[in-house]
């Protein structure tokens, strides 16, 4: 084989190898949809994608935490609405039975009603959410109120990160809603009213009217605060979701390839590879003829 033929053949084989490599890469891109899947594909883009993956993971975890907090706060707000209705009923009973025309039997029957209301309120105060008891502060593994209505939880914050360096309280305050920490011990006041009714104590019943009003207002304040915090978490969750969409779009632009572009590249490279094969074969054929 002449030197010129050898040079042309070497060049043709090198070109064929490059086309084969490019075609294989195009096949991978077309089949996976990814332009960058390892550092050697594009070091800068791969490094960017690693950072984007870390940010996506952090936002997804934050989204889950804020959504869970919002769900529990929504539940707490809903049951506090029921609690405020119970206190309205308790006040109405106190008003009706404070009338001097009511007898002991009527008041004893009303005492049973207050006992039922108190038990229902106790069930509300011991409501469980996704992370445990809603009104026990950070003590979420045991009921925050015992059978007597005594508070056994705490009023510590359970913070959730809603943005880099920014946290928000994610739990409702059972202490401020139901106990003297908020101004009135709601369960104690209900027990006082129940006892006054059971003993036909008209003055005691009359004195309980104001405490029922204060208890109701305290629960409503707890409900409003809880609902406000729940709304903030819903807003934070929406913002996080929007950030995730933006970041995932950016990640796609970093490492993915448009299907149409990928197919077009593959067709072009396959054609180039076929041409390089044909050139190699022709050089080999001519060389054979010249021997």
Q: Give DSSP secondary structure letters for 45-96.
A: HHHHHHHHHHHHHHHHHHHHHHHHHHHHHHHHHHHHHHHHHHHHHHHHHHHH
Distance, in Å, from the CA atom of 191 to the CA atom of 149, rounded to the nearest integer, reads 9
Which helix (H) or strand (E) element contains residue 210?
A: helix 202-255
196 vs 48, more confident: 196
Same domain flag for 107 and 184: yes
Over residues 89-116, mean pLDDT: 96
Over residues 179-196, mean pLDDT: 97
Place of tokens 């929504």: 74
Same domain flag for 58 and 120: yes
Distance, in Å, from the CA atom of 96 to the CA atom of 48, rounded to the nearest integer, reads 72
Distance, in Å, from the CA atom of 73 to the CA atom of 268, rounded to the nearest integer, reads 58
Q: How many residues does the chain have?
A: 291
Reply yes or no on whether the pLDDT at 264 is more than 50: yes
Domain of residue 9 covers 3-33+257-290
Domain-embedded: residue 45: no
Which helix (H) or strand (E) element contains residue 17?
A: helix 3-32
Distance, in Å, from the CA atom of 229 to the CA atom of 201, rounded to the nearest integer, reads 42
Domain-embedded: residue 47: no
Which of 33-42, 51-60, 105-114 has maximum average pLDDT? 105-114
Domain-embedded: residue 44: no
The pLDDT tens digits of the residues spanning 156-167 come to 999 999 988 889
Torsion of CA 270, 273, 274, 277, to 10 degrees: -160
Domain CATH code at residue 163: 1.20.1330.10
Reply yes or no on whether the pLDDT at 113 is more than 60: yes
Same domain flag for 27 and 159: no
Same domain flag for 158 and 272: no
Q: Give the pLDDT of residue 285.
A: 63
Same domain flag for 13 and 102: no
Domain-embedded: residue 39: no
Reply yes or no on whether the pLDDT at 24 is more than 90: no
User: What share of the chain has pLDDT > 70, as a percent?
Assistant: 75
Closest-CA residue to 156 (of 143, 144, 169, 142): 169
User: Average pLDDT of the chain?
Assistant: 84
Instruction: Please state the pTM of the whole predicted model.
Output: 0.76
Domain-embedded: residue 183: yes
Domain-embedded: residue 80: yes
**Total tally of structural domains belonging to the chain:** 2
The pLDDT tens digits of the residues spanning 40-98 come to 777 887 888 888 889 999 999 999 999 999 999 999 999 999 999 999 999 999 999 99
């Amino acid at each position: 084989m002449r030197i010129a033929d050898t040079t042309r053949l070497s060049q043709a084989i090198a070109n064929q190898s490059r086309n084969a490599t490019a075609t294989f890469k195009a096949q991978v891109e077309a089949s996976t949809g990814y332009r960058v899947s390892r550092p050697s594909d594009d070091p800068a883009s791969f490094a960017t994608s690693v950072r984007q993956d870390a940010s996506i993971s952090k936002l997804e975890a934050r989204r889950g935490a804020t959504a869970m907090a919002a769900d529990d706060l929504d539940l707490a707000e809903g049951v506090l609405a029921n609690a405020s209705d119970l206190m309205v009923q308790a006040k109405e009973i106190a008003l009706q039975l404070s009338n001097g025309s009511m007898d002991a039997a009527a008041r004893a029957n009303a005492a049973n009603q207050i006992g039922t209301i108190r038990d229902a309120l106790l069930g509300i105060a011991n409501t469980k959410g996704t992370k445990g008891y809603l009104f026990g502060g950070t003590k979420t593994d045991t009921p925050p109120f015992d059978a007597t209505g005594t508070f056994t939880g705490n009023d510590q914050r359970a913070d959730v990160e809603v943005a880099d360096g920014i946290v928000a309280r994610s739990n409702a305050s059972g202490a401020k809603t139901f106990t003297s920490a908020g101004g009135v011990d709601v369960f104690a006041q209900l027990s006082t009213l129940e006892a006054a009714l059971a003993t036909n104590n008209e003055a005691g019943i009359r004195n309980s009217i104001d405490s029922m009003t204060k208890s109701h207002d305290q629960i409503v304040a707890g409900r409003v605060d809880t609902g406000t915090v729940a709304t903030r978490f819903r807003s934070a969750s929406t913002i996080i979701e929007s950030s995730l969409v933006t970041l995932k779009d950016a990640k796609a632009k970093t490492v993915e390839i448009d299907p149409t572009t990928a197919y077009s590249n593959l067709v072009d490279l396959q054609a180039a590879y076929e041409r390089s094969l044909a050139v190699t074969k022709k050089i080999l054929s001519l060389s054979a003829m010249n021997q």
